[in-house]
């Protein structure tokens, strides 16, 4: 039997096929252009494949250096500076119209020991302050006019409800005013530079109130704090939407902007539990390569969508939302708390958009969803 196909219909089918085959993936940065920057943590630009570079330049209009500007890699010894990768990062961002952010001038991790030593003895407060000033001033002057905002201090607030600051070598060597001193040196080095305080779990108590106290103290001491960075390393099914909502309101009342600086949605269990065999067995899932189950992808998409609806509600205060990595092949959660195969971001290991990507794009185009995300 011969089948007669209408030529017009055949053309239409062909055109629809072509349109879907070649339809451009929507762009996050375009979808949120009117709202806030969309960023990603970047490794060395020369380490990415052409496809990864295309993903970065088409999807993101902000970036944070994952490692190269942290104290140890950039300043491993008192007289040794390693600027090559940081220079490459800033050049790359400038070339592709990506707003380059600086991360981070002071942190307790990735921080070289020489800062706190004087020969075999602990260095005096004055010596550590002198080194801190030199560290901050040198970096800020080098990148003046090319960085859109600096995380001056990262993770200074203690997780312990009974203490204010985390116990670090900075605190031990300088004392309670070390955060203030760091902001002061940064403000003196480049008065026009937007200065940020960055930390995790600060959307929730007890850390939220401590951050509010810290920002107030900085402001009372003449520091212009531009923004508070909520890192946003959240876990599937445990996103603290109501806390995030309240924290953004509370921080904005201080007259600062809010940035979501290290967003990811971990899909694997986190706790390591010594003797509990059942949960250890659960936790060891995914040490072998394994695709993410569709049900998990669906929940992740829904939760990312709700998060972005919440961010849109605060679009007057939020200036940037940055993911901690470009895709599931480039995420610290493949190595923490131990090597395994995680799926926390919007693009899979091949850089293909996941359901969560479309959900985030969708949230940008359906503002009527804003306001319906909070639990009853
Ligand atoms: C913290 C730091 C980041 C990064 C992540 C995990 O959140 O601020 O620079 O190191 O941990 O990799």
Active site residue 155: yes
List of residues 6+ apart from 15 with CB closer than 8 A: none
Closest residue to atom 12 of ligand 1, CA basis: 332
Question: Ligand 1: which atom is nearest the Cα of residue 155?
Answer: 8
List of residues 6+ apart from 143 with CB closer than 8 A: 86, 90, 102
CA 39 / ligand 1 centre spacing (Å): 15
> Which residue blocks in 113-226 are alpha helix, DSSP H?
125-142, 169-174, 178-189, 207-220
Closest residue to atom 9 of ligand 1, CA basis: 66
For residues 132-147, average pLDDT = 98
The pTM for the full model equals 0.91
Strand, helix or coil for residue 80: strand
pLDDT value at 193 more than 60:
yes
* pLDDT at residue 281, as a whole number: 54
Closest residue to atom 6 of ligand 1, CA basis: 332
* pLDDT at residue 1, as a whole number: 43
* pLDDT at residue 339, as a whole number: 83
pLDDT in tens, 3-56: 454 555 565 555 555 444 456 899 999 999 999 999 999 999 999 999 999 999
303: Cβ below 6 Å to ligand 1?
A: no
CA distance 51 to 351: 8
| Mutation test residue for ligand 1: of 106, 201, 262, 339, the one with most atoms within 8 Å of CB | 262
pLDDT in tens, 240-296: 999 999 999 999 999 999 999 999 999 988 765 454 555 555 555 566 678 899 999
* pLDDT at residue 372, as a whole number: 43
Question: Rounded to the nearest 5 degrees, what angle is found at the Cα of 252, between the Cα atoms of 246 and 258?
Answer: 90
CA distance 166 to 178: 12
Closest residue to atom 3 of ligand 1, CA basis: 66
64: Cβ below 6 Å to ligand 1?
A: no
What is the average pLDDT score of the chain? 91
* pLDDT at residue 235, as a whole number: 96
* pLDDT at residue 24, as a whole number: 83
Which of 52, 66, 155, 283 is catalytic? The answer is 155
For residues 150-169, average pLDDT = 98
């Amino acid at each position: 039997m011969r089948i007669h196909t209408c030529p017009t219909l055949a053309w239409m089918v062909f055109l629809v096929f072509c349109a879907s085959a070649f339809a451009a993936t929507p762009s996050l940065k375009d979808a949120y252009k009117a709202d806030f920057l969309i960023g990603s943590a970047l490794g060395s630009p020369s380490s990415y494949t052409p496809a990864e570079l295309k993903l970065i330049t088409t999807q993101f209009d902000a970036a944070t250096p994952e490692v190269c500007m942290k104290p140890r890699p950039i300043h491993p010894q008192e007289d040794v500076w390693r600027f090559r990768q940081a220079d490459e990062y800033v050049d790359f961002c400038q070339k592709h119209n990506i707003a380059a952010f600086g991360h981070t001038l002071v942190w307790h991790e990735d921080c070289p020991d020489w800062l706190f030593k004087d020969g075999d003895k602990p260095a005096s407060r004055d010596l550590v302050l002198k080194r801190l000033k030199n560290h901050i001033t040198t970096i800020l002057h080098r990148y003046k006019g090319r960085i859109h905002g600096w995380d001056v201090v990262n993770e200074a607030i203690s997780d312990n409800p009974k203490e204010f600051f985390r116990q670090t070598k900075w605190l031990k060597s300088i004392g309670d005013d070390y955060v203030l001193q760091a902001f002061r040196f940064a403000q003196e080095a480049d008065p026009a530079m937007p200065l940020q305080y960055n930390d995790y779990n600060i959307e929730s108590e007890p850390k939220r109130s401590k951050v509010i106290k810290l920002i107030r103290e900085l402001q009372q001491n003449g520091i212009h704090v531009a923004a508070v960075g909520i890192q946003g390393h959240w876990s599937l099914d445990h996103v603290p939407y109501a806390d995030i909502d309240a924290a953004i309101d509370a921080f904005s009342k201080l007259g600062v902007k809010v940035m979501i600086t290290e967003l990811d949605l971990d899909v694997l269990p986190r706790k390591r539990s010594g003797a509990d065999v059942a949960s250890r067995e659960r936790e060891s899932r995914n040490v072998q390569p394994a695709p993410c189950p569709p049900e998990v992808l669906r929940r992740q998409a829904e939760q990312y969508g709700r998060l972005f609806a919440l961010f849109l509600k605060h679009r007057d205060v939020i200036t940037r939302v940055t993911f901690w990595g470009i895709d599931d092949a480039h995420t610290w959660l493949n190595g923490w708390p131990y090597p395994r195969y995680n799926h926390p971001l919007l693009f899979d290991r091949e850089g293909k958009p996941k359901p969560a990507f479309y959900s985030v794009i969708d949230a940008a185009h359906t503002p009527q969803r804003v306001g319906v995300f909070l639990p009853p």
